[in-house]
Amino acid sequence: MAFHYLRLENHANLPGQIPFAPCKALVVVDCDVEDKWQGRVSEWLIDTGCLVMTAWGRDCCSWDDSVDLANLQRHDYREIPDASSIMTTWHEDETLAEVMWFARFAAFHPITNLENLLVLHIGSIDRSDEFTNVFSSCTQ
């Protein structure tokens, strides 16, 4: 599995498409996030091809709801086709290593094989080395 790190500061403009979609995303939240911006990030995740979203960090329990709602809105609150379904989880009582292991080895999409993991880090300090090391130390 390929590892990709992207850090966004709260209220930052969102980047364009990612070149490695479809993918899994591990959203790591290090700061408070306004609901409206969280909704935009959730829509961006869907737009960029995220099919599995795992959240960890501050108020992570709100991220699965936000992504689920964005996907429902995308499909006009009708039945979501299996190929467009997004699996979402949140992990507030686990360590970063446990969540990284889950995202890497246990999280899956029922239709599409996902070979890329995007760690979307929402915070003001670059933690790419830390996250890369944790990812590399995860073994099955």
Residues 90-110 pLDDT 10s: 999 999 999 999 999 999 999
Give the three-state DSSP class for 7: strand
* pLDDT score recorded for residue 91: 97
* pLDDT score recorded for residue 89: 97
- Beta strand residue intervals within the chain, DSSP E: 2-8, 23-29, 50-57, 87-90, 116-122
* pLDDT score recorded for residue 140: 80
pLDDT above 90: residue 12: yes
CB neighbour class for 6 (10 Å; exposed up to 12, middle 13-18, buried from 19): middle
Q: Model confidence at 123, in pLDDT bands (50, 70, 90)?
A: very high
Q: What is the pLDDT of residues 32-90, one digit of tens each?
A: 999 999 999 999 999 999 999 999 999 999 999 999 999 999 999 999 999 999 999 99
